[in-house]
């Protein structure tokens, strides 16, 4: 089966899908994006993702390419045509095509590209946890906007890959952890506080982060949004990261130092199970769970 992509009003073969050379996403990274998980034919937390897309567009004064009902339809159609039952749908909106000039073009014709693909759960990593390395956060001051300008993230992720690590945790010159290259960072302190950085301009306010926060509060855990340092992370009882594609992923090593006893901690594992149920993911080796808060695909 050949993959299908949506590009500006047309479904086309993925291998032929292309945007213009003067698309501002290509020229200036003048574009924003979202990634939504599909789990057992359901979109996970679709509306919060579409809300965040609208927010990113608004912060950059970019016009939405289509209304929300049309966008929902295009996402579903892309998922259907690619026969994705478990995977992701990716959407990118750029400020459109215009002769290269840094200032905004006169027109408001933004471009929309949508792709979808199947993904497999990373079961061994999810069960055993992953290692992360740390590096300086060299990004701009509006990391709350989900733009495709991801070069610092790309460089840090490559560094992690070359070190055999799953992710890189980004650290300010003051020694505080902001987030990961494509996920949010969390620690659990010895006093069982679940800590993650507040959603300021320094991080992307992850949809998974918000859901996990709500789940942790519902379960009666002490959740604290505050800045935490790399030293605290090294001394933490548990650590994990959250994202659309990684769900709740235990972090068992930070820079070659084990976190706690070097195995996924009990609180992390509990949150992972709760989040998987929320996402409608079948437990490892078990049967499908109903899931909540998800729209039909």
Which residues have a catalytic role annotated? Answer: 146
3-class SS of residue 7 = strand
Selected range binding ligand PDD among 76-84, 102-110, 236-244, 276-284, rule: CB under 6 A:
236-244
Please report how close the Cβ of residue 34 comes to ligand PDD at its closest, in angstroms.
8
What is the rounded CA–CA span in Å between residue 192 and residue 264? 14
The answer to the question of residue 278 lying near ligand PDD (CB under 6 A) is no
Side-chain half-sphere CA neighbours of 220 within 13 A: 0
The answer to the question of residue 268 lying near ligand PDD (CB under 6 A) is no
The answer to the question of residue 204 lying near ligand PDD (CB under 6 A) is yes
DSSP code of 221? -
The 294-296 sheet, strands edge to edge: 10-13, 4-7, 111-118, 87-94, 31-39, 42-44, 294-296
- C-beta nearest to ligand PDD: residue: 206
Which of 4, 113, 207, 248 is close enough to bind ligand PDD by CB under 6 A? 207
Please say which residue, 83 or 142, places its beta carbon nearer to ligand PDD: 142
DSSP calls for 38-53? EETTEEETHHHHHHHH
Contact (Cβ atoms closer than 8 angstroms) between residue 247 and residue 180? no
- The first and second tokens of residue 140, run together, are 């701009």
Q: Which residues pair with 42 in a beta bridge?
A: 39, 296
Selected range binding ligand PDD among 10-18, 126-134, 205-213, 252-260, rule: CB under 6 A:
205-213
Selected range binding ligand PDD among 22-30, 91-99, 194-202, 243-251, rule: CB under 6 A:
243-251
Please say which residue, 97 or 180, places its beta carbon nearer to ligand PDD: 180
Q: Which of positions 178-197 make contact with ligand PDD (CB under 6 A)?
A: 179, 182-184
Give contact residues for ligand PDD (rule: CB under 6 A).
35, 179, 182-184, 204, 206-209, 242-245
């Amino acid at each position: 089966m050949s993959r299908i992509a949506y590009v500006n009003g047309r479904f086309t073969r993925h291998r032929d899908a292309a945007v213009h050379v003067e698309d501002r996403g290509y020229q200036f990274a003048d574009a924003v994006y979202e990634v939504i998980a599909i789990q057992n034919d359901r979109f996970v937390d679709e509306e919060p993702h579409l809300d965040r897309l609208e927010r990113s567009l608004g912060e950059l004064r970019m016009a939405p390419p289509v209304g929300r009902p049309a966008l929902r339809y295009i996402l579903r159609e892309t998922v259907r045509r690619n026969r994705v039952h478990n995977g992701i749908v990716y959407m990118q909106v750029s400020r459109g095509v215009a002769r290269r000039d840094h200032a905004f073009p006169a027109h408001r014709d933004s471009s929309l590209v949508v792709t979808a693909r199947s993904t497999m759960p990373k079961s061994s990593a999810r069960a055993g946890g992953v290692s992360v390395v740390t590096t300086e956060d060299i990004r701009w001051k509006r990391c709350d906007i989900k733009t495709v300008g991801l070069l610092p993230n790309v460089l840090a992720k490559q560094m992690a890959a070359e070190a055999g690590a799953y992710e890189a945790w980004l650290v300010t010159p003051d020694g505080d952890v902001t987030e990961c290259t494509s996920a949010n960072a969390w620690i659990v302190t010895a006093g069982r506080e679940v800590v993650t950085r507040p959603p300021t301009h320094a991080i992307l306010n992850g949809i998974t982060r918000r859901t996990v926060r709500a789940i942790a509060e519902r379960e009666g855990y002490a959740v604290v949004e505050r800045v935490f340092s790399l030293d605290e992370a090294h001394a933490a009882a548990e650590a994990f990261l959250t994202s659309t594609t990684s769900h709740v992923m235990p972090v068992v090593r930070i820079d070659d130092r084990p976190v706690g006893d070097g195995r996924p901690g009990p609180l992390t594992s509990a949150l992972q199970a709760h989040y998987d149920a929320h996402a409608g993911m079948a437990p490892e080796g078990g049967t499908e769970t109903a899931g909540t808060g998800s729209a039909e695909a």
